[in-house]
Amino acid sequence: MAATASVQPYLLIGNPGNKRTLGLQAARQKLGLPPAIVLPYSDLLNRSIHLGESIRQAATNSQPLEGKPIIIRLEAPGENPLVERELIAWGAEFEGSRKDLTSGLSVTAAKALRLPEEYGRILYPGQWYRGYCRLLAELREAAQQSDSPIRWVNDPADVAVMFDKRRCQQLLSQNGVPTPAMPAPAGSIRDYESLLAAVQSSRMNRLFIKLAYGSGASGIIAYQRHPVTGSEIAITTIGVEQHNDEQLYYNSGKLQRYTDHATIRLIIDWLCREGAQIERWIEKDSIDGSSYDIRQLVVNGSPCHALARLSRTPITNLHLRNERRLITDGMLSAILKEQVEHTAVSALAAFNGSTVAGIDVLVQKKRGLTYICDVNPFGDLLYHAEHKGMNTYEWQMSLLQQ
């Protein structure tokens, strides 16, 4: 009987065939590593596979290298309508995950699974998040109960916190990581009226209002209010449609500018019901007339790949077809580049169980101070960025061989 090969099993929880999964598999092939064992989100959600059994099979089918645990990597669950609806359904049945901070719309599990595919529509984000937290907790428990030693690339408990911008900022602040100030404590602004009260008491007339569980610029508003006249401007990707006496909210994929009070109030009320992170609007530094921030990848406690995201608008997310630019010599001073990297590293260090994240760092105009905009546990899909001649996935896989 042939001897079982000694390898370090690598389990990848993700959506098969998407660019993230394919990118990681290509990197492993290039480096001579066996393919990752892909566990589809859809199969885990419908319970046709179970993580505990997959761990046992991986340990049985290979002879794990001595002292090397089975690695489990979580990938982004997005870009799959079936998985999105399954997570919303799971959220309908889950009562344990931070429901105190959201009173958003809900739908039964049965109706969630029958939701039609509507391109761009933002579907029950608070309930989706509760469902994802339920899945993350279940996966973490299954791994803990397995007999094999395992290591998460990013601990599911950390991923749950990173995905809630309020909880993430709270953790960062507790660890001394610079984040934008808030006009009121997280979760205390429940609607448009309480937002106005917070604006007046804090004198923060320019704010970023973010859907707590949003990504890719979905559910974000750059909001400003004149302190004397009360006139308002909201720059956002959020579109609103009326359908059968129901308000539908969607990610338009491009920025819209609202000035009418009624629409601004409607959108802010909805965001606050679903759960919103509200923070001071810090004016970003600029390059060639465009405001920018930095997506800095941190792996195993060290900075590596980085991109500048440039925009003529206040919102720099690359999903809005903003310019991506590699960090080249002379773009940032050596001191500022080091400061950006240090801030990003300190952000990931706040999460004891995680080793990889794309950290969004803004540089304040004129003052040069750095702040964390976002911590993305799946923020390593950076096109054309290289570090020591490797793309992001190749670099991460190469570290396994050290």
DSSP per-residue string spanning 213-246:
T--TTTTEEEEEE-TTT--EEEEEEEEEEEETTE
Q: At what angle do helices 192-202 and 261-274 cross, to 10 degrees?
A: 100
* Average of per-residue pLDDT across 274-300: 95
pTM for this model (two decimals): 0.93
356-363/370-376 β-pairing: antiparallel
Q: At what angle do helices 125-145 and 51-61 cross, to 10 degrees?
A: 40
Burial class (CB in 10 A: 0-12, 13-18, 19+), 383: exposed
Q: What is the pLDDT of residue 4?
A: 46
206-211/276-280 β-pairing: antiparallel
Nearest-CA neighbor of 387 among 287, 298, 294, 292? Answer: 298
- Give the separation between CA 381 and CA 397, rounded to whole angstroms: 14
Phi-psi region of 117 (alpha: psi -120 to 50; beta: other; left: phi over 0): beta
Contact 251, 120 (CB under 8 A): yes
Q: What is the pLDDT of residue 93?
A: 67
Q: In what order do the strands lie in the sheet with 276-280?
A: 246-258, 232-243, 220-225, 206-211, 276-280
Q: What is the pLDDT of residue 8?
A: 87
Contact 286, 302 (CB under 8 A): no
What does the block give as tokens for 296? 């800095």
Percent of the chain with pLDDT over 90: 78
SS3 assignment, position 397: helix
Q: What is the pLDDT of residue 117?
A: 85
Tens digits of residue pLDDT in 21-53:
999 999 999 999 999 999 999 999 999 999 999
> Residue 379 pLDDT > 90, yes or no?
yes
* Cβ-Cβ contacts under 8 Å for 402 (sequence gap 6 or more): none
SS3 assignment, position 25: helix
Tens digits of residue pLDDT in 334-377:
999 999 999 999 999 999 999 999 999 999 999 999 999 999 99
How large is the C-alpha radius of gyration of the chain?
22
The mean of the pLDDT values for the chain is: 91
Q: What is the pLDDT of residue 97?
A: 45
Contact 361, 344 (CB under 8 A): yes
pLDDT band at 99 (very low <50, low <70, confident <90, very high): very low
Residue 276, strand partner residues: 211
* Average of per-residue pLDDT across 128-152: 95
Helices (H), 74-164: 81-93, 109-113, 125-145, 156-162
Tens digits of residue pLDDT in 236-253:
999 998 877 778 898 887
* Average of per-residue pLDDT across 10-31: 97
Q: At what angle do helices 125-145 and 81-93 cross, to 10 degrees?
A: 80
- Give the separation between CA 354 and CA 300, rounded to whole angstroms: 8
Tens digits of residue pLDDT in 120-129:
889 999 999 9
- The dihedral of CA 360, 365, 371, 373: what is its sign? negative
* Average of per-residue pLDDT across 218-239: 94
Tens digits of residue pLDDT in 293-320:
999 999 999 999 999 999 998 888 877 7
Contact 182, 195 (CB under 8 A): no
* Average of per-residue pLDDT across 121-139: 94
- Domains of the chain by range and CATH? 1-163 (no CATH), 192-280 (no CATH), 284-399 (3.30.470.20)
